[in-house]
Amino acid sequence: MTAPLVRSAWARRFLVVWASQAVSLVGSSVAGFALVWWLTQATGSATVLAASALASTLPLVLLGPLAGALVDRHSRRMVMMAADAFIAVVSAWLAYLFWAGQAQPWHVFVIMAVRALGGAFHWPAMQASTSLMVPREQLSRIAGMNQTVQAVMGILAPPLGALLLSLTPIHSIMLMDVGTAAIAIGLLTTVAVPQPRRDDLAGPAAARPSVTQDLRAGVRYVLGWRALAMLLGLAALTNAVVNPAMTLTPILVLKHFHGGATHLAAINSAFGFGMVAGGLVLAAWGGFKRRMLTVSLAMAAGGILLLPVGLAPSGRFWLAIAGFAGFAFVLPIINGPIMAVIQATVAPEMQGRVTTLMISLAQVTTPLGLVVAGPLADAVGVRPLYIVAALVCLAVGLASLAVPDLQRFGERRPALAPVRGEAPVGLTTGGR
Inside any domain, residue 139: yes
Q: What is the residue range of 142's domain?
A: 16-196+210-407
User: What's the predicted TM-score (pTM) here?
Assistant: 0.66
Q: Buried b / exposed e across 209-236, counting CB within 10 Å, b at 16+?
A: beeeebbbbbeebbeebebbeebbebbb
pLDDT of residue 4: 42
Q: Do residues 135 and 10 touch, judged by C-beta distance below 8 A? A: yes
Inside any domain, residue 419: no
Q: Furthest-apart CA pair in the chain: how many Å?
A: 69
Report residue 203: phi and psi, to 5°: -85, -165
Report residue 102: phi and psi, to 5°: -110, 0
Q: Do residues 150 and 26 touch, judged by C-beta distance below 8 A? A: no
pLDDT of residue 297: 95
CA distance 96 to 174: 9
What is the tally of structural domains in the chain? 1
pLDDT of residue 323: 94
> What residues contact residue 328 under an 8 Å CB cut-off, 6+ apart?
151, 154, 270, 271, 272, 273, 274, 275, 278
Positions of the chain with pLDDT lower than 70, given as ranges? 1-9, 136-137, 139-141, 143-144, 147-148, 151, 154, 196-209, 410-432
CATH number of the structural domain spanning residue 285: 1.20.1250.20
Helix or strand holding residue 81 (H, E):
helix 76-99
Q: Do residues 397 and 299 touch, judged by C-beta distance below 8 A? A: yes
Q: Do residues 275 and 147 touch, judged by C-beta distance below 8 A? A: yes
Nearest in space to 107 (alpha carbons), one of 90, 88, 87, 82:
90
Inside any domain, residue 426: no
CA distance 241 to 365: 9
Inside any domain, residue 425: no
- DSSP per-residue letters across 109-174: HHHHHHHHHHHHHHHHHHHHHHHHHS-GGGHHHHHHHHHHHHHHHHHHHHHHHHHHHHHS-HHHHH
pLDDT of residue 5: 38
Inside any domain, residue 284: yes
> What residues contact residue 3 under an 8 Å CB cut-off, 6+ apart?
none
Burial status of residue 282 (CB atoms within 10 A of its CB: 0-12, 13-18, 19 or more)? buried
- Residue 193 CA: distances (Å) to CA of 130, 131, 320, 339: 9, 11, 42, 20
> What residues contact residue 219 under an 8 Å CB cut-off, 6+ apart?
65, 357
- DSSP per-residue letters across 347-369: -GGGHHHHHHHHHHHHHTTHHHH
- DSSP per-residue letters across 194-223: -----GGGSS-GGGSPPHHHHHHHHHHHHH
Inside any domain, residue 380: yes
Amino acid of residue 87: I
Inside any domain, residue 389: yes
Report residue 265: phi and psi, to 5°: -65, -40
- 422 secondary structure, DSSP code: P
pLDDT of residue 144: 66
Inside any domain, residue 60: yes
